[in-house]
A and B are shown apart, each in its own frame.
Chain A
């Protein structure tokens, strides 16, 4: 009896018990995860000998919550938005993180002072500032769209549009397109009337919407000419347009920028190594390395100073593509983390009900 069991055990044993267990990082896949791998994980592996592997999902926060609440956590570090991080923190699903354990800026400024005010959280260390923008096919549209309202204008801009299958970003865009000033969007969205107004706006283009789940899909839909406009992450649009040469352009009006960063799930298999990775990968140098690959803004002030300093190291060409570039901020909306921490559940159910209706 012993023999077959040992044999089976040997065959089935997972590498999880070997000493060199890789750190498991869950992220959004595609270009974004590739950037994190190249700019953060591989340098970390070279510096410390600790390998990192990536898991791809459409919803890292959901994955973390599922694993923590079901009691089987395999993720060590997760990349989530600030609102989701706040929510996970309030529900005790992620570990508190001490800013004192983070690396100081090059001039010695403590990390807590080096991050942009309001971006560090109790359980959250920012990695980048990204934006959800309107991307369009320059060849398919005769005239370029100028505002968010054009996204909803089927007469002047015929063709299908791609939107993320989440209330977050979609409802904000609909309200701004409906003429709501960016500053009042969340005030309005907290009311039933505001939600109705956003959904009514979406109803107007409903049969022309293609819904996407993964961040790579809107780019693919544009590339396949399945849609003429898409709500997509600015870094991936940049990569498709500037690196891969697709005829895509970004409309910065009504851009929705949010802080993205790391959380460590409660009960992570390797919490100490996860903390090491978080500290290593949120240094100013690491943020500059990632910004050199995809134009997501660095949340550290010391890194921002280097980016804006002309001729620092040739990375400055990315500056106009960053969500935080002044010319891109004209009608920008900061995605409020408290609002989404408090309203996500309810708006998701509401949005899902609306989506499912005929």
Chain B
């Protein structure tokens, strides 16, 4: 039975089927149906092999990331803890004058939130949209323990005059719905002005666009550096006899297999002001004892350490392409009168482009998402967007903001990944 459904068995039957008008298998089924069934079965079998892993990756990877990205547009910090005023916003469309009912709802909610110890959460949520208002909530909350007497508008404004601020009410209205695009606006250094129009934040407070740009530029610089350093090495390895190149390859693979933290530590040891490299420079007289170079805890440190860490990802694909280039093309070009430079530029280099593209894309993709190395050697000018995401996760605890930045970064990386798949093909990803 098993063999009957095997497509190869079917083909045998077809060949011996002779003069029958309808081709059938040995047990008399129409061949087309048997083939379709057997190929469906083969597909199912192949899929069943992949299914456990697919399920695993969906559960441990795809769902968690999707869930996190959901936070970039969902924040219920206000809506959950200020129910009455949120309800008022629901019932009354934007533009409705703030009436005493609204003030009463606000006063009741403030008392409730102060009692539940959630006033800080509410203040923090509004503070994201109107900086400087967190203290308004917490300080009013301290006064709200026993409730406010009516008329509520006057009591609240007496507690703090800042309550009479249309911008604040607009922010509360927008926060009363848990879904918001404001975190994406903030990630692009944009905000809403008093009329609700999108504007850029004051120049002194802009940071994210610049960080995205810096991440791009540093990643490009690192990709460029890995190309400049990786190309000669890959070429050397590809042109040497196998025995020698295998030996030298170890020098490329050893860093590849060495712990990232070990390599980063090593660069800290080398690049410090009192470190090995500066000692050598002073000893050689390149710099004076007081002129020790500042090569770490800044952008230079990030570039040097990341170039070192990502270099093997450039060398390996370049090498595997260069190995396949037939040296007789260059020789032919030379014998036809090309200078060695022209032969290299016009004949050799174009043939290395597939490897170069694969290496450069991979290095760039890995570089834009780097976190550990910039955190340790980057100082404040060598930090990348990943470090900002980490900071929002663990320090400011603005998780929605972290998620919005992560969504933008992830979008960029996935586009690059798609390009990589189109140009290089994931099947051609090789390790070592």
Chains A and B touch (C-beta atoms under 8 A apart): yes
Task: Say if the beta carbon of A354 comes within 8 Å of chain B.
Answer: yes
The answer to whether A342 touches B135, judged by C-beta atoms less than 8 angstroms apart, is: yes
Known: A87-B120, A210-B379, A211-B379. A356 touches B397 (CB 8 A): no
Chain B CB count within 10 A is highest, among A63, A90, A357, for: A90
**Would you give the 0/1 interface string for B105-135, flagging 1 where the beta carbon is closer than 8 Å to chain A?**
0000000000011111100100100011011
- Give B382 Cβ to nearest chain A Cβ, in Å: 11
Task: Say if the beta carbon of B204 comes within 8 Å of chain A.
Answer: yes
The answer to whether A353 touches B205, judged by C-beta atoms less than 8 angstroms apart, is: yes
Contact of A90 among B120, B273, B380 (CB under 8 A): B120
B175-183, B250-258, B388-396, B410-418 - interface stretch: B388-396
A196-B210 Cα distance, complex, nearest whole Å: 20
Using Cβ atoms and an 8 Å threshold, which residues of chain B touch A349? 131, 396, 398
The answer to whether B117 touches A92, judged by C-beta atoms less than 8 angstroms apart, is: yes
A209-B272 Cα distance, complex, nearest whole Å: 15
- Give B275 Cβ to nearest chain A Cβ, in Å: 9
Contact of A92 among B116, B206, B214 (CB under 8 A): B116
The answer to whether B394 touches A91, judged by C-beta atoms less than 8 angstroms apart, is: no
Task: Say if the beta carbon of A355 comes within 8 Å of chain B.
Answer: yes
The answer to whether A342 touches B134, judged by C-beta atoms less than 8 angstroms apart, is: yes
- Give B299 Cβ to nearest chain A Cβ, in Å: 9
The answer to whether B206 touches A353, judged by C-beta atoms less than 8 angstroms apart, is: yes
Task: Say if the beta carbon of B58 comes within 8 Å of chain A.
Answer: no
Contact of A210 among B119, B121, B135, B297 (CB under 8 A): B297
Known: A196-B204, A342-B134, A345-B134. A352 touches B120 (CB 8 A): no
Task: Say if the beta carbon of A66 comes within 8 Å of chain B.
Answer: yes
Task: Say if the beta carbon of B207 comes within 8 Å of chain A.
Answer: yes
Task: Say if the beta carbon of A46 comes within 8 Å of chain B.
Answer: no
Task: Say if the beta carbon of B211 comes within 8 Å of chain A.
Answer: yes
Interface size class of B (residues with CB under 8 A): 35 or more
A252-B398 Cα distance, complex, nearest whole Å: 36
The answer to whether B207 touches A353, judged by C-beta atoms less than 8 angstroms apart, is: yes
Task: Say if the beta carbon of B141 comes within 8 Å of chain A.
Answer: yes
Task: Say if the beta carbon of A225 comes within 8 Å of chain B.
Answer: yes
A92-B282 Cα distance, complex, nearest whole Å: 56
Task: Say if the beta carbon of B383 comes within 8 Å of chain A.
Answer: yes
- Give B78 Cβ to nearest chain A Cβ, in Å: 14
Contact of A62 among B121, B388, B395 (CB under 8 A): B395
Task: Say if the beta carbon of B339 comes within 8 Å of chain A.
Answer: no
Task: Say if the beta carbon of A69 comes within 8 Å of chain B.
Answer: yes
- Give B50 Cβ to nearest chain A Cβ, in Å: 23
Using Cβ atoms and an 8 Å threshold, which residues of chain B touch A348? 395-396
A350-B121 Cα distance, complex, nearest whole Å: 19
Known: A66-B394, A348-B395, A353-B207. A91 touches B121 (CB 8 A): yes
Task: Say if the beta carbon of B90 comes within 8 Å of chain A.
Answer: no
Task: Say if the beta carbon of B199 comes within 8 Å of chain A.
Answer: no
**Would you give the 0/1 interface string for A210-228, flagging 1 where the beta carbon is closer than 8 Å to chain B?**
1100000000000011100
The answer to whether A65 touches B395, judged by C-beta atoms less than 8 angstroms apart, is: no
The answer to whether A345 touches B211, judged by C-beta atoms less than 8 angstroms apart, is: no
**Would you give the 0/1 interface string for A143-170, flagging 1 where the beta carbon is closer than 8 Å to chain B?**
0000000000000000000000100000
Task: Say if the beta carbon of A72 comes within 8 Å of chain B.
Answer: no
Using Cβ atoms and an 8 Å threshold, which residues of chain B touch A357? 206-207, 210
**Would you give the 0/1 interface string for B48-64, flagging 1 where the beta carbon is closer than 8 Å to chain A?**
00000000000000000
Task: Say if the beta carbon of A89 comes within 8 Å of chain B.
Answer: yes
Using Cβ atoms and an 8 Å threshold, which residues of chain B touch A342? 134-135, 138-139
Binding site for A on B (CB under 8 A): 116-121, 124, 127, 131-132, 134-135, 138-139, 141, 204-207, 210-211, 214, 272-274, 297, 379-381, 383, 388, 391, 393-398
Binding site for B on A (CB under 8 A): 59, 62-63, 65-66, 69, 87, 89-92, 165, 190, 192, 196, 199, 209-211, 224-226, 341-343, 345-346, 348-350, 352-358
Q: A211-B379, A352-B207, A358-B381 are in contact. List 14 more A-B contacts (CB 8 A).
A: A63-B394, A66-B393, A66-B397, A69-B397, A89-B117, A90-B119, A192-B132, A196-B204, A225-B273, A342-B135, A343-B134, A345-B124, A353-B204, A357-B207
